[in-house]
Amino acid sequence: MTALQLYETIVGEGGINPEYFLHKMQWWEINRFLSGLRRRYHAQFEATRILQWQLTCMFHDKKQGPPPQSPTDMYKFGWEENKEESNPQMTDEDVAELQDLISGFSWGN
């Protein structure tokens, strides 16, 4: 994820104050914040999948074969798969890009 994408996600989607992100946020906070932001939407995704499964079962044509037995038979989310979580690290290039972004930021004072 580039520095600009981090800014868009954390400030734009997550609602963090730009001043806090640019001047006060610590590097270790970024991964924790992004994890929390992803968890925020889990319940909504689950509810949508259950509704989709119920509608599929209600209007399922028997000619198509048996309906899905559970919502997870229709679609698995990335967090449900048994895979090792990757922990991508920021590269020196990412740090330099973020520092350029910070140094070019003007508060209009």
How high is the pLDDT of residue 107? 60
Q: Which two tokens stand for residue 9?
A: 């996600």
- Which one, of 55, 78, 81, 82, lies nearest residue 68 by Cα? 55
CB 8: neighbour CB atoms within 10 A?
13
Residue 85 covered by a domain: no
- Residue 104 belongs to a domain: no
- Could you tell me what percent of the chain has a pLDDT over 70? 89
pLDDT tens per residue across span 71-88: 988 888 887 876 555 556
Total tally of structural domains belonging to the chain: 1
Domain encompassing residue 18: 3-76
Predicted local distance difference test score (pLDDT) of residue 48: 94
Residue 37 covered by a domain? yes
Q: Is residue 43 part of a domain?
A: yes
89 part of a folded domain: no
Could you say which residues of the chain have pLDDT below 50? none
Nearest-angstrom CA–CA distance, 92 and 98: 10
> Is 108 domain-assigned?
no
Decide: pTM greater than 0.85.
no
- Residue 28 domain flag: yes
